[in-house]
């Protein structure tokens, strides 16, 4: 065994020195921690600068965690923060001796003369903490990866969720100056000058786009209706328009229907062939040719469908971030909100879970800077209410938080669903083959009831032709236009619809 002598003359095993040299210690910046804590105790401005950047766990040394926790408590209680008050708070917490007593606190204040560079110090402390978190998570992933019984896809989701939590918990956006924001606003206004006022993503429905200027980035849009009213048919028509006509990438999370069922509906809408014929495969020779020709546009469209059942909000966020990164999607559609789960992150009743889900959907829209469109069920109160059956905001099912979090709340209403033959307006015009898209809440714009054409056998919504030469329906096969009024939408897809059925079929 090779040995050497230390400065004290004692013999030391040289192999141990070599092992120590090749060893690793967690990333840390203890000197920066000391400087930051000292600056906070001598200058209140330093606390205001870093209080929303740091948290106790960000510090490497346990003593420093306790000192910062005491400072944080004083700040929350709006009490003065200095050497004496911090020492007194540590006494209350029973941790003064653990941190090294008053002598150690005095030493911290003597290491700095001001809080001039405290934000820089705090950023380094946070960086080291994030590195330690990444090491911990990676070690856990490595350990679980050796477990042969672990499901690899569950492991992937777990890894992505944990890494996402690191991002959400530590990377906080700072405030921007008025000058910076004004410059950004002016640049956006100039860009919109060449887009004919369309600041968002066009849906292909003329009047709706005129009202909203397209779906806006960072908005949460709720589209609610009773089962069988046409929620899925509307978003399928919209997704097809956005992807094929405008080239916008659309991600559809279908928690109810399979991806093949959903794409079959899109094929029906795009080709003009009834979904019943497509489902049974009973097509005439010319219809097969029509199918092969017109389905090409759909096959090339940037539409991504995920039919994972009982999808949790955390899995949705992970999948959405991946799609945004890999395919630059512009819109997310969720069909439908009540079928999502909180993934065990929220206790309490279902209403609290829905509240948590809606808050997270809004956060997702802001994070990815794209509109998130979520379908929602309405309560049975619509059916039991006398008079007009038009939905109200109070009819939103399970949680008022949906209305609160959403930027736009809209409803789909088809009088035919209730056996009506006329609209309840002044001229009592026929309502066969028509539906109404009701914008009941619009945080950044006006409200309106927009009438659309509904083609039952195609499960398709499109612009309604008016008597004044307005927008014509952009159907791919006009030969079917005159048939829509003779077909009962409730018979589409051979699925009967009753007002009391809570399953969202057929539309």
Q: Cβ distance 75 to 50 under 8 Å?
A: no
Report how far residue 5's alpha carbon sits from residue 330's, in angstroms, rounded to the nearest whole number: 68
CATH code for the domain defined by 198-463: 3.40.50.300
The two domains 21-167 and 198-463 share their CATH topology (first three levels equal): no
The single residue of 119, 256, 276, 473 carrying the catalytic annotation is: 256
The pLDDT, as a whole number, for residue 399 is 60
pLDDT of residue 325: 81
Q: Which residues of 80-108 are buried (b: 16+ CB within 10 A; e: fewer)?
A: ebeeeebbebbeeeebbeebeeeeebeeb
Token pair 């079959």: residue: 264
The fold of 21-167 is DNAb Helicase; Chain A (1.10.860)
Backbone angles phi, psi at 439, to 5 degrees: -90, 100
Cα gap 192→331, rounded to integer Å? 19
* Runs of H (alpha helix) within 272-339: 275-280, 285-299, 313-327
**In the annotation, is 256 catalytic?**
yes
Find the DSSP H helices in 146-195: 152-170, 178-192
Q: Tell me the DSSP string of 10-50.
A: -EEEHHHHHHHHT-------HHHHHHHHHHHHH-HHHHHHH
Terminal Cα-to-Cα distance of the chain (whole angstroms):
80
Residue 432's closest CA among 450, 448, 412, 414? 414
Residues of the chain below pLDDT 70: 1-23, 167-177, 188-197, 343-348, 386, 397-400, 426, 465-507
Cα 365 to chain centroid, rounded: 5
Domain extent listing, the chain: 21-167, 198-463
Task: Give me the phi and psi of 424, to 5 degrees please.
Answer: -90, 40
pLDDT reported for residue 170: 59
Peptide bond into 345 cis (omega under 30): no
What's 396's DSSP letter? B
| pLDDT score at 344 | 54
Q: Are 217 and 295 in contact (CB under 8 A)?
A: no
């Amino acid at each position: 065994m090779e040995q050497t002598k230390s400065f004290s003359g004692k013999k030391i095993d040289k192999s141990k020195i070599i092992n120590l040299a090749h060893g690793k210690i967690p990333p840390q910046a203890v000197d920066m921690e000391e400087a930051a804590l000292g600056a906070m105790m001598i200058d209140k401005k330093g606390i205001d600068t870093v209080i929303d950047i740091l948290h106790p766990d960000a510090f490497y040394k346990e003593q420093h965690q306790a000192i910062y926790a005491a400072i944080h408590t004083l700040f929350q209680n709006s009490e003065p923060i200095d050497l004496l008050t911090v020492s007194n708070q540590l006494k209350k917490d029973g941790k003064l001796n653990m941190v090294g007593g008053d002598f150690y606190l005095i030493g911290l204040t003597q290491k700095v003369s001001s809080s001039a560079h405290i934000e820089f110090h705090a950023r380094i402390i946070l960086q080291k903490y994030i590195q330690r978190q990444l090491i911990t998570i990676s070690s856990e992933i490595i350990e679980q990866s050796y477990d042969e019984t672990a499901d690899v896809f569950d492991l992937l989701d777990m890894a992505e969720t944990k890494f996402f939590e690191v991002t959400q918990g530590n990377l906080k956006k700072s405030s921007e100056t008025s000058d910076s924001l004004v410059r950004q606003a002016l640049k956006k206004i100039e860009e919109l000058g060449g887009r004919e006022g369309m600041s968002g993503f066009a849906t292909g429905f003329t009047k709706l786009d005129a009202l909203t200027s397209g779906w806006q980035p960072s908005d949460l849009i709720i589209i609610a209706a009773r089962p069988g009213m046409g929620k899925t048919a509307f978003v399928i028509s919209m997704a097809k328009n956005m992807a094929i006509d405008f080239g916008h990438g659309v991600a559809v999370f279908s928690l109810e229907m399979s991806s093949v069922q959903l794409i079959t509906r899109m094929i029906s809408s795009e080709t003009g062939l009834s979904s019943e014929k497509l489902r049974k495969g009973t097509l005439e020779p010319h219809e097969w040719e029509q199918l092969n020709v017109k389905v090409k546009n759909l096959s090339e469209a940037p539409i991504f469908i995920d039919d994972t059942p009982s999808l949790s909000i955390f899995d949705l966020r992970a999948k959405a971030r991946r799609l945004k990164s890999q395919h630059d999607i512009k819109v997310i559609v969720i069909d439908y909100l009540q079928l999502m789960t909180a993934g065990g992150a929220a206790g309490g009743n279902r209403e609290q879970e829905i509240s948590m889900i809606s808050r997270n959907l809004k956060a997702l829209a802001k994070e990815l800077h794209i509109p998130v469109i979520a379908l929602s069920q309405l309560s049975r109160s619509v059916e039991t209410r006398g008079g007009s059956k038009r939905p109200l905001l109070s009819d939103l099912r399970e949680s008022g938080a949906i209305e609160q979090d959403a930027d736009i709340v809209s409803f789909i209403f088809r009088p035919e669903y209730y056996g009506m033959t006329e609209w309840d307006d002044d001229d009592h015009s026929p309502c066969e083959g028509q539906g109404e898209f009701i914008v009941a809440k619009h945080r950044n714009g006006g409200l309106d009831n927009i009438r659309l054409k509904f083609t039952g056998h195609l499960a398709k919504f499109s612009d309604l032709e008016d008597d004044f030469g307005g927008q014509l329906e952009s159907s791919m096969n006009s030969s079917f236009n005159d048939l829509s009024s003779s077909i009962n939408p409730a018979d589409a897809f051979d699925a009967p619809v009753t007002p009391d059925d809570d399953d969202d079929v057929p539309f």
